[in-house]
Chain A
Amino acid sequence: MEGWVIAIIKVVFIWAWVLLIATVMTWVERRGAAMMQDRLGPNRAGPFGLFQPLADGIKLFTKEEVLPKKAHKVLWSLGPLLFALPAFSAYAVMPFGDKIVLGGKEIILQVSNVNIGFLYILAIGSLAVYGIVLGGWGSNNKFSILGGLRSTAQLISYEVPLGLALLAIVFVYGTFSLRDIALAQQGTFLGFLPNWGIFKQPLGFILFMVAIYAEANRVPFDLPEAESEIVAGYHTEYGSMELGLYLFGEYVNLVTLSSLIVVLYFGAWHIPYIDVSKFLGPVSWGIVSFLIFYLKVSFFLWLFVWVRWTIPRFRYDQVMGLGWKALIPLALFNLFITALFIQLAA
């Protein structure tokens, strides 16, 4: 097969797969929340209510699009697009399995192995904030603009520790490519620990997790939407599929960020102490590595839901305080320690 045919197949496949996960996630979120709150949740559409996201999708598609009278038309329609697009495009550099050999040709399970892998993800991920801010500004509504403003203020307080935590990872692995980082996590170090990022960067992992929750606008850092304070924040005025794009983009973001956690800190498709690829053929290993990867991802997706229904939202100033006064010093400390260890080991 031609290279570009393979590329297109990979793009379409991973796009559909991420969409599927995001769809199922809406169901998991609602039923999981219900079960944690002693309710049942949506259980009418299909077995266990599994078709609920489908029904929601149809509802959102068939609803009327309402444009507020004083809304800025361009920014209004640009908002959801700018939010959903980065969410999808960030997956372009994400590895989702080892490699598969078809007809003597080796295909790596990654759309494109860019050597600046997660610089790209950071850049694209930060773009999503424009979607929120423009949506909030374009709505011409005080709650929306508050949501947008909160989003920007939140961005500058968590993006720095996020970047610093990732920089420590670069120190450890000496590469920006996500696939190379994933490959480097095979085997063990110090004789007994799996060669995973979390064991090499425990503090960095905690910082990264906190920053990720802020990046995904999830509880406890869901200040831009904050239903109980500013109605729904930046998407107060949106309806129909424009709202759908916002909601969907959020879940796609969750998938991307969970995958990032797994690739950087949880050994991607590796299982500790066992090299599964030795027991399997080239095709079956490709499929198994894909499944292992998404098993890990699904745990982190569940963690997002679990945390959301456990703890309350931070206050606005508390987020700033946490970001500037706790996370950044800790991230710098982590960076320093990492650099010191590498220097001493060399």
Chain B
Amino acid sequence: MAKPVVKKEYTLGERIYLLEILKGMALTWRHFVFNVKASFRPEPHTVPTCWQYPEDRTREISPIFRGLHMLCLDEKGREKCIACGTCAKTCPAHCITVKKGKRKEGEEDKYASKMYCASFDIDLLHCIFCGFCQEACPKEAIVLGREFELAQYTREECHLDKQKLLANYRKAKEEGKLRPPRKAVPVVKPPPKPEAGAPKTTEGKAGKPAVAGKAKKGQVEVKKAAEKAKGAGKAESGD
């Protein structure tokens, strides 16, 4: 139920409204003066809510931000990807294409598993940056990084192949922008379902004071009153 509208009784001064306008103007003036002073300060971001983006890149990026993709290497510098294709299947935008390759003798220092991806293509023009590929990946090979300046001049530049993805990883590693290892998500137990009898008793309690005055008029009316109280209780909880 909607919240009941409480009409406030205004005093004469408030009804004339001019004084209230002046009060409001004093408030906006304080903000104005503060921000004008702030905009002349030499700090990187001057007005508290504004980051002057191309010049000022001090704004923190959230650790769960999903930016440009990368293909990760493990601690020995081997490719993690096993070309299982789960990312390609999960992708809602169908922008990932993976081709399998089999590891040959002597390539153990290059690929972590028996299978590796011969090619790995992502069409950024299709990608919606949902991060499903990252979540689906069993080896945590594909990761969405923090790079967000993705505008390009040609379509070809928006196409990521395996070399670019690996290069993204190396660049992020150099700049220290790698995402910290994910913490285990704590499993939250579903709240225990309320027993079938319990709500009825509480409603009965809520209904009782309302009913008390009309108790003599028989049980039928008591039931009705209880129902009314139930409705009122719902309305209150709805607020």
Chain A interfacial positions (CB closer than 8 Å to B): 32, 34-40, 206, 306-307, 309-311
B47 x A38 contact (CB < 8 A): yes
Chain B interfacial positions (CB closer than 8 Å to A): 18, 21, 24-25, 27-29, 31-32, 35-36, 39, 46-50, 52
Residue in B18, B25, B29, B39 whose CB lies within 8 Å of A40: B39
> Which of B27, B28, B29, B35 has the most chain A CB atoms closer than 10 A to its own CB?
B28
Residue in A32, A36, A40, A311 whose CB lies within 8 Å of B50: A40
Q: Least Cβ distance of A54 to chain B in Å?
A: 21
Chain B contacts of A37 at CB under 8 A? 31
A309 x B28 contact (CB < 8 A): yes
Chain B contacts of A34 at CB under 8 A? 35
B24 x A40 contact (CB < 8 A): no
Chain A contacts of B31 at CB under 8 A? 35-38
Chain A contacts of B27 at CB under 8 A? 310
Residue in A35, A40, A307, A311 whose CB lies within 8 Å of B32: A35
CA distance A206 to B16 in the complex (A): 12
> Which of A34, A206, A310, A311 has the most chain B CB atoms closer than 10 A to its own CB?
A310
B25 x A306 contact (CB < 8 A): yes
Decide: A38 near B49, CB < 8 A? Known: A310-B24, A311-B21, A311-B24.
Answer: yes
B49 x A36 contact (CB < 8 A): no
B15's nearest neighbour on chain A, judged by CB, is A326
Can you list 21 A-B pairs, Cβ within 8 angstroms, ordered by A?
A32-B32, A35-B35, A36-B28, A38-B35, A38-B47, A38-B48, A38-B49, A39-B47, A39-B49, A39-B50, A40-B35, A40-B39, A206-B18, A306-B25, A306-B29, A307-B21, A309-B28, A310-B25, A310-B27, A310-B28, A311-B21
Chain B contacts of A310 at CB under 8 A? 21, 24-25, 27-28
B30's nearest neighbour on chain A, judged by CB, is A36
CA distance A206 to B21 in the complex (A): 13
Q: Least Cβ distance of B17 to chain A in Å?
A: 9
A40 x B28 contact (CB < 8 A): no
CA distance A310 to B24 in the complex (A): 6
A36 x B32 contact (CB < 8 A): yes
Q: Least Cβ distance of A203 to chain B in Å?
A: 11
Interchain residue pairs A-B with the least CB separation, the first 6: A35-B35, A310-B24, A36-B28, A310-B28, A40-B50, A35-B32
Decide: A307 near B48, CB < 8 A? Known: A35-B35, A36-B32.
Answer: no
Chain A contacts of B52 at CB under 8 A? 40
Q: Least Cβ distance of A46 to chain B in Å?
A: 16
CA distance A36 to B38 in the complex (A): 12
Chain B contacts of A309 at CB under 8 A? 28
B36 x A40 contact (CB < 8 A): no
A322's nearest neighbour on chain B, judged by CB, is B17
Chain A contacts of B25 at CB under 8 A? 306-307, 310
Chain B contacts of A206 at CB under 8 A? 18
Besides A34-B35, A35-B39, A306-B28, 15 more A-B contacts (Cβ < 8 Å) are: A35-B35, A36-B31, A36-B32, A38-B31, A38-B47, A38-B48, A39-B47, A39-B49, A40-B39, A40-B46, A40-B47, A40-B52, A206-B18, A310-B28, A311-B24
